Each structure stands twice: as C-alpha cells, then as structure tokens.
Chains A and B, each alone.
Chain A
Amino acid sequence: MTKIFVPCDAAARAVGADRVALAIQQEAARRGVTLDLVRNGSRGLFWLEPMIEVETPAGRIAYGPVTPSDVSALFDGGLLDGGVHALRIGRPEDVPFLKRQTRLTFARCGIVDPLSLNDYRAHGGYRGLARARELGPVGTVQEMTASGLRGRGGAGFPTGIKWKTVADTSADRKYIVCNGDEGDSGTYADRMLLEGDPFVLIEGMTIAGYAVGATKGYIYVRSEYPDAIRTMERAIVLAEAAGLLGAEAGFDLEVRVGAGAYVCGEETSLLESLEGKRGQVRAKPPLPAHKGLFGKPTVINNLVTLATVPAVMADGAKAYADLGMGRSRGTMPIQIAGNSKHGGLFEAAFGLTLGEIVDDIGGGTASGRPVRAVQVGGPLGAYFSRALFDTPFDYESFAARDGLIGHGGVVVFDDTVDMARQARFALEFCAIESCGKCTPCRIGSVRGTETMDKVIAGDRREANLALVEDLCQTLKFGSLCALGGFTPYPVMSAIRHFPEDFGRPRLAAAAE
C-alpha cells in the first residue's frame, strides 16, 4: 500500500494541510485506490507547506505547496508513483535548503509518524538511553560535559555542568524540568519537536533523570501551542504503555500548560508557575540546581537542549563537539522567519554568518524588497543591519556585537520597516509582559514607551533619545532577569544601527 505523508505540524495545518489530507483521502476513495496516509511532522521548509510526500522505490518524493484543488491533477499525473506535476519538488533531501543542513536534533522530524514508537526506534531512537545506561550516571554527565552542549534557550550555560551540580547535590527528590515556554517571536523549534518527534524529548529527559538521579519530570508548554500539547500528552501515554515511562522505567513525565505569560520562559519564573504561583522571577542564588522546583535540586533545560541529548549520547560527545566554532559546539536549529523568501528550520553547525543565513539560505525577503534589518534571538534580541552581516552565528560573536542568538530565531524585515516603531514595540512588549518584580522593568518599560512616542512625534528628539539611552542602562543593570535586562538590546541596536529612523544622520556604513 502506498504511503503518503501530509504534515500535521501546526504551521502546515495553518496553511491548509488538513484540507489537503482530506482531499487526498476523498480522491483516493473516488478512484478506488487504497493508501496509507501518515500525518508526519514538518521538515521545516515552510514556504513549501503544505508539502506532501509519497513513498516510492526511489525514495520519498515531495510536492508542494499543495492546495486541495491540486489533488485531482496530482493523481492524474501519477502522484502515487512520484509522477510529474508542476508542484513536484523531487526528493526532499535534494532540496538545497535541506541538503546543506546537519540534522542531529531534528534528525527524525518530518520523516517519522510522531506517535509511532516503532518509527522512533527504527530511526535510531533509544540508542542514546542505551548508551547512557552502559556509561552509568557519572559517565553520562561526563559525556554531556565533553560534548560542549550549551543551553539552547539562549543563556548558553554548559549543560553538563548544570547536570553535575544537580547530581552532586543530595536530596530525597530531584526534578527534571523542560522549558517549552517558547515565547520568542520568530522561534518554533520547540513546537516542531513536540509535534513532530515527541519521543526524542521523552528519551532526553529520561537520560537526564538517570544521570542526576531524578525520578520526575515536567514539560512546561505554552498554552499558545494546543497541537503540541495534545501530541506530547499522547506520546507520554504511549511511552507509559510501552514501559518506557512510569514505575518500571523509574521516571515519570507530566505536561504542564502555561497561561500566556511570556516571562514564564525565564527559568525561575517558570518554576514559580509550575508551583502554582504568579510567574514572578526569583533572585539567584540559590540556583535551581540547588533549590529549584518545590525547593528541590532541579535540572531546568530548554526543550531543544533536552531533545539534543539523545543524539549526543547515541553518537558520542566527540562527534558532537567536532561540529561548531569557538566555544559554541555542535549544531543549532536556526529558525528563519518573518519576511523571508525561504523561511524555515535550518539546523547547522555554529559558524554560518548572518548574511549566509538571511541571503543565501533564506533567499532574501518574501516581499522581494531589499533586506533592511534582522532581529536575532526574539523580542529581547538586537536588530542587525546589513553592515553586520559578517557576524558568525555563535554565542560569543553575537555577544561581542551587543546581540544574542537566543533560541535561534532570525526575523527578517524589508526596507519598509520603521525602526523607531520597532524600538517602541520592544519597550511596549516589556511593559505588557513584565512580571512586576523589578521597578526598572515594571515602570521603566512604560516610561520608555511614552518617551519613544515623543521621539516618534519629533518632540525634543535628542533630549528624549538621551533619556531612553539612560533608561536602557538602568534596565540593563537593575533587572533580575533577561526581560528587563535585555529589552535594551533591540532598543539600543535600533537607535545605533538605524539612526536615520530616529531623526539622526545616516551612518556611512549603512549607505553602502
């Protein structure tokens, strides 16, 4: 029976994948053809979604973007044998966007049926846990440290060191918490994994639990991701039924759903939220590794970090550490988003330049206009101008240019963008999402928005810009967490790299 794959990823569904799947089933029934329709995750080539694939002796053949009205003609052209049609892409692996990637964390995403344990195992699943058990808990922590894997939420803290701290802290109970509160605009790597390969997270968290001696894990997922929550919960039930979670496995997992607070992506605020409180930031120390969830030692890692653990363990620390540049080892799932011609998920070793990502891989803008600004790392990330396109994508290089890679989101803007409005939005967003604990963030963001309004209105521009810059210093050094502390990045980078939008003379470099 011919296998046809139609993604169930929320982004594919958002552009009509469900209607395409229904049309394929109806067309097959009308023609008396039986087929096996699999709802896979997305490969991450979003400009081609809905992208369907058919299994043929020559491998999987993709078509896209498919609309329900194309389905009949696709069958006429011999869809089931990978036949010719204007929408035929060929083997997805041969598409340059996919061919240039190094997929470790996303090795299975878009290929397997997300809720098939057989698929998961057939594509290398549970090799990582098996190897962790061979190495033992201490050896597993050492392996993680040697791999150089750092927190993929943005802070970039070495995962192995965090695990070692928890492993070395004695307690009657320890927890593994997965931070899936992916609130940064321009990012969707967590969502894709939850919807496209949930077992990889289960395996990663099981390894973490084994390594540090924790028996309970929580996956905190934002409420904006209903599909992801549903898939993850079903995967946990399947894993429990197979004895991979629960008493037999010595590790329990539970999904907890957020409630629309961006700040809960900050680790201590997430822990407060898990405990049923207002998601307000905690002062550190104590570190969550010493006193985390319910006061117990807790490993809290980003979802991508935990989903990378099985790949690191399966193929060894060295294979992972051999990739990347400087102190940024391994791969990063870069999410090319916004006004990009070829927007999608691009997992690659650290070290590509921003220009390569935006121009070569992303193909410039979707609108066809020139790229003017790129925001990297979500709403707290800096705006980069074309003059900075030589910046290599790694933690240190971005920090050196007063930016951050964050969770790997790259949002492209064309030349219609007004950077003064973007700077204002950054402050407004901080005001909306501030947890209220620190005064600079709670009040400074509101005053900053008002002052930026004056700048936009042309009211004493220089004096008000000086005030905004001063306020940004206070936010940066007077806030407990990254929300207040990093809001200055988009604001100051917009002012510095795009002065002409603030009534200042254009930079010489920007005119090239």
Chain B
Amino acid sequence: MLPILHDFQATFGCIPAPAVPFIAEALNLTRAEVHGVVTFYHDFREKPAGRHVLKICRAEACQSMNGEAVARQVLDRFGLDWGGTTPDGRLTIEAIYCLGLCSCGPSAMLDGQPIGRVGASTIDDISREVGR
C-alpha cells in the first residue's frame, strides 16, 4: 500500500479523505485498515502542506551542534511552531528525526534538498528561497 499512498501524496500533496474508500476497494481491505496505515506513518498528511516544506532535524547529532536553538531562530523568524504553516500558505516547518547528515549539523531539508551547517547565513538563504 505504501507505494500507492506515496503516489497519492505526490499528486495531491496529501492523502485526501475521499481517496481512502477507493484504495480500500482496490486492495480488498476495509476503510479502517487503510485509515490505520495512513495515520501510522508520519509522512502522510491529511491536508496539503505549504508550497515550501522545511524539515529541521531535532535528533541528537543536531542537538549536539546547538540545533534546538537554531531551529527556534528559524521558527521565530517565520512566526511558526513545529508543524505550522504561514498564513499565506508559503511555508510549512516540520520536525524530522535524522536526515543522515550528522557530521554536517545542524541539518535541514528544504523541498527535498539537503542543507547542512545551518546558521545565520543559511537561514537567510532559506528565507530568500521561500520568498519571505
């Protein structure tokens, strides 16, 4: 089922509620089973995220590089909390637990592109990239 859900999310930006019965029917499962899978995995959204998605690592290796304070700066800059989206729908910021960039921390990922050694100048770059 995961490849199907990934395709849905790639197309619609989320797993729309009306899709669940279709998936259940196609796979000969109950709606409850499909709902169970969709809600189990952190990646699948119930509604689309902002146009840009910034994932900031909160795991130990980034913590050791002052990642929590850097993340707080980024969140404050955009006036968001974890999981929040700016009112104009431009940016969503999410927590992530490890991007595998642990020797270049603190790390983040903007729209699938990895960013390492996040600091003041990279935060400016991110800001420019999302147009804020």
Using CB atoms and an 8 Å cutoff, list the residues of chain A in contact with chain B: 10-11, 13-15, 46-47, 49, 182-188, 190-191, 223-227, 256-262, 273, 276-280, 335-340, 343-344, 366, 375, 379, 409, 411-414, 417, 422, 425, 429, 432-433, 435
Contacts and interface: CB of A to CB of B under 8 A. Distances in A.
A260 B60 CA distance: 17
22 contacts: A10-B99, A10-B114, A13-B113, A14-B114, A14-B115, A46-B103, A47-B103, A190-B100, A223-B6, A257-B2, A257-B6, A258-B43, A260-B42, A261-B41, A335-B102, A335-B103, A338-B63, A339-B64, A343-B103, A411-B60, A425-B60, A432-B97
A337 B5 CA distance: 33
A339 B65 contact: yes
Nearest to B105: A338
B44 A183 contact: no
Contacts of B97: 183, 185, 262, 379, 429, 432-433
Contacts of B3: 256-257
Nearest to B33: A277
A278 B104 contact: no
B36 interface: yes
Contacts of A375: 60
A10 B36 CA distance: 32
> For A47, A226, A337, A343, which residue has the most chain B Cβ atoms within 10 angstroms?
A337
A278 B40 contact: yes
Given A276-B27, A278-B40, A412-B64, A226 B112 contact: yes
Contacts of B98: 183-187, 224
B45 to A, nearest CB: 11
Contact of B42 (A191, A261, A335): A261
B60 A186 contact: yes
Interface string B42-67: 11100000000000010111111100
Contacts of B64: 338-339, 411-414, 417
Contacts of A337: 61, 102-103, 105
A10 B101 contact: yes
Interface string B1-23: 11101100000000000000000
A191 B63 CA distance: 20
Given A225-B100, A276-B2, A276-B37, 16 more contacts: A11-B101, A11-B114, A13-B113, A15-B104, A183-B98, A184-B98, A224-B109, A259-B43, A260-B96, A278-B40, A337-B105, A379-B97, A411-B61, A411-B102, A429-B97, A433-B97
Contacts of B1: 276-277
Contact of B116 (A14, A277, A339): A14
A256 B2 contact: yes
Nearest to B118: A14
A49 B104 contact: yes
B83 to A, nearest CB: 12
Contacts of A336: 103
A185 B61 contact: yes
A221 to B, nearest CB: 11
Contacts of B85: none
A226 B42 CA distance: 16
Contacts of A187: 98, 100, 102
A361 B3 CA distance: 42
A422 B60 contact: yes
> For B6, B112, B114, which residue has the most chain A Cβ atoms within 10 angstroms?
B114
A252 to B, nearest CB: 16
Contacts of A413: 64
B41 A279 contact: yes
A344 B103 CA distance: 6
B102 A186 contact: yes
Interface in B59-80: 59-65
B92 interface: no
A499 to B, nearest CB: 20
Contacts of A191: 100
Nearest to A381: B60
A159 B115 CA distance: 36
Contacts of B61: 185-186, 337-338, 409, 411
Contacts of A432: 97
Contact of B65 (A13, A338, A429): A338
Contacts of A47: 103
A259 B63 CA distance: 23
A91 B40 CA distance: 48
B27 A338 contact: no
Nearest to A344: B103
User: 4 tightest A-B contacts by CB?
Assistant: A343-B103, A185-B59, A14-B116, A276-B1
B36 to A, nearest CB: 5
